[in-house]
Structure 1
Amino acid sequence: MTIEAQIVLAVFADYFQFFVQDEAANEDFGPLWTDEAVERLIAAGDCSVGIGTVRNMSVPVALTIHADEPEDDFDEWDLVNECSFTVRSGRIAILGCTDALPEAARISLAPGPYRLRVSYSGLDSLSEDGLDGDDFYRLQLWPAPLAGLRTLKEKAGASR
């Protein structure tokens, strides 16, 4: 598995979410956060993805760009989701929903369809007040034809 680029961030997950999006995207996520999307901790639009978190604080996020689909390593993760989105502008931004787009972290990518795998760990590690925890969000991105959202590993005790 060849990693072409990697970025590690602390993203402010205000309202328990952050986004990976084409920098020119302006999608309304209100209708995308269905009950199922909230349960899965992911909502996908055409050119952006909303990633749910278990804390309403800054959370650690690692994004890697791959040439091809990465190998499965689901055992060490609490939850793993995959979805697709399209990069039109040639750059993606990673930001919290109340962050200012001009200050967002960015990565340049060739325009086209991409697959995003989101692996979540430490989902049950929150402090009683919900402010501290060892939750972690790994994002793996690679060029791939558009395909539907799917959960590759469900959380223990998931209601579906």
Structure 2
Amino acid sequence: MLESISLELPVDHHSFFLIEEGQNPILGSERAVAEAGLARSAPQRANFITACNDGRVDLVVELSSTEPDARAADYEDIIELPFDSRDGIVAVHTHNVNGYLKILPPLPEGPGSYRLRYHARNMDEADQHGYGGKGVDGYLLQIWPAPWADPQVLQARSLYAKGFTGKVSSR
């Protein structure tokens, strides 16, 4: 099973979040259990970095019951990290002025352990683009059930992402 959700996401402060109800989306590094370059996670929440600071970006979220293929040819930067879900329902959230929140379809196997694979493209171009409007960067977030595994940077080709690749850790 593969379910794909396409969003035009309003971002602010270079970020968006995957959260479960009742969780504070902001996840400082001191509370993160896993970090891999462009993202960090803790139970029931994850933070993702975008190159676009303030504007709109395209985000595709894929929910799969099995591990999907990474899209290395289509995206310059790819990281993976673990994610634990308490109730199997998550939402994409941003700190945009309007408080964007998009509840996603239920996770494939409900509550449990999942893997997040975050893909990014055109981050260098978006970083030069500046503020406001439609960003040139695009993102793909793949989510599937998987046992807990250490975070990792699979691919970092943009200069923007390479600035974060030294941050790979788990607790």
TM-score exceeds 0.5: yes
CA distance 1:90–1:33, change in 2 (3 Å): closer
Residue 107 (str. 1) matches residue 105 (str. 2): yes
In 1, Cα distance between equivalents of 2:18 and 2:151: 15
What amino acid does structure 2 have at the position aligned with 1:147?
A: A
Taking only aligned residues, the RMSD between alpha carbons, in angstroms, comes to 2.5
Distance 1:130 1:97 in 2: 15
CA distance in 2, matches of 1:128, 1:63: 24
Q: CA deviation at 1:71?
A: 1.6
Q: Partner of 2:83 in structure 1?
A: 85
CA distance 1:32–1:49, shift in 2 (3 Å) = farther
Count of residue pairs the alignment pairs up: 154
Q: Which amino acid aligns with 2:138?
A: F
**Aligned twin of 2:45:** 48
Provide the TM-score with structure 1 as the length reference.
0.82
- Partners of 2:38 and 2:31 in 1: how far apart? 9
Deviations 1:86-118 (A, max 9, x none): 1112200111135647x4333212111110101
* Pair 1:129-2:126 in alignment: no
**Aligned 8 A contact 1:84 1:149 in 2:** yes
Q: Matched residues, percent identical?
A: 25
Aligned-partner Cα distance in 2 for 1:53–1:33: 20
Instruction: Give the match's secondary structure for 2:73.
Output: helix
| 8 Å CA contact retained: 1:78, 1:154 | yes
2:144 is the alignment partner of 1:138:
no
